[in-house]
Amino acid sequence: MSKLDTSGDNAEQIEYWNGEAGTQWADRNNEMDLMLAPLGAAAIERASPNLGEQVLDIGCGCGGTTLDMANHLGESGHILGVDISAPMLDLANSKIGSMPQALQHVPSFQLADASTFDFPVGSYDLLFSRFGVMFFANPPSAFANMRKALKPGGRLTLLCWGPPEQNDWIMTPLMAAREHLPPTDKPDPRAPGPFAFSDKDYVKTTLETAGFIDIGFESFSPLMKIGRGQSLEDTADFFMEMGPISRALVDQPTPLLTKVKDAITEAIKDRYKNGFVELGAKCWIISGINPTA
């Protein structure tokens, strides 16, 4: 699959998700899906997909939720997974063959920037995403573009992370790592990134500006199982390779990485059992409606 143009607003994210981040997500897809599948399942249940519906899965990555959702839509439904990452979509496409033959036509994938893609107008019943909509440079404009693809009365269901300080799965290793990392400027909490949609008021205003109504927030606080069934040392490596921590460790010298790994190992060791660490998460399941007129 070829790469997207990098001339628009989301160029930095397109570079990022087509670079090492995208190939690492694809390489570690089994571990990531093990960790995120229960969270996605809760969001799919909340979205209540019906047989025969037309669904968009935005920022679908390696297609885990796209294929799960396809099973709920049946042979007469369709789900389009949209993503900017060629390596992640390559893996997503390769998984279709493992579905039951009768459902293999239900999912399809599109390499595209969802904020500007020319979706067929008024065509979809449901706009869904598991952690794939926090990366737009201009969220109101991106959501206005996606809303146009919904039928009148079409539904929106988004799973997004809540405030980072309420997400132990990231704060526990991050605080341990920070003790050894050079100080950095506080990042803009609304800049594209995993926690950009953690503030309810901001998300509500963003979605209303994009034209959605009846915006709702359900608090969801699962216990996450993180790791790949290996040793405590390997589990510490896994934490160092994940999103925000891996970004903080880029270009750091080896002795410092060793100190960070020791600190993370110490921080997670009491939660480690049989190859996994259990830590709490705080998410929002966000809902909304495309008005009928």
Ligand X SMILES: C[S@@+](CC[C@H](N)C(=O)[O-])C[C@H]1O[C@@H](n2cnc3c(N)ncnc32)[C@H](O)[C@@H]1O
Q: Which residues bind ligand X (CB under 6 A)?
A: 10, 13, 17, 32, 36, 59-61, 64-65, 82-85, 88, 113-115, 130-132, 135-136
On whether the CB atoms of residues 159 and 221 are closer than 8 A, the answer is no
H helix or E strand, kind and range, residue 283: strand 283-289
The residue (of 116 and 205) whose beta carbon lies closer to ligand X is 116
On whether the CB atoms of residues 58 and 82 are closer than 8 A, the answer is yes
Q: How far apart are CA 289 and CA 211, in angstroms?
A: 9
Q: Which residues contact 137 (CB under 8 A, 6 or more apart)?
A: 9, 10, 12, 13, 115, 192
On whether the CB atoms of residues 187 and 242 are closer than 8 A, the answer is no
Cα dihedral value 41, 43, 49, 54, nearest 10? -110
Shortest distance, position 189 Cβ to ligand X, whole Å: 17
Shortest distance, position 273 Cβ to ligand X, whole Å: 24
DSSP helix/strand/coil, 66: helix
Provide the phi-psi class of 24: left if phi over 0, else alpha when psi is between -120 and 50, else beta. alpha
Shortest distance, position 136 Cβ to ligand X, whole Å: 6
The residue (of 15 and 75) whose beta carbon lies closer to ligand X is 15
Q: How far apart are CA 138 and CA 81, in angstroms?
A: 21
CA 28: distance to chain centroid?
14
Length of the chain: 293
The residue (of 115 and 172) whose beta carbon lies closer to ligand X is 115
The residue (of 53 and 83) whose beta carbon lies closer to ligand X is 83
The residue (of 13 and 265) whose beta carbon lies closer to ligand X is 13
Shortest distance, position 111 Cβ to ligand X, whole Å: 9
Shortest distance, position 227 Cβ to ligand X, whole Å: 17
Shortest distance, position 78 Cβ to ligand X, whole Å: 18
Amino acid identity at 213:
I
The residue (of 32 and 263) whose beta carbon lies closer to ligand X is 32
The residue (of 159 and 177) whose beta carbon lies closer to ligand X is 159
Shortest distance, position 130 Cβ to ligand X, whole Å: 4
Q: Is 51 exposed, middle or buried (0-12, 13-18, 19+ CB in 10 A)?
A: exposed
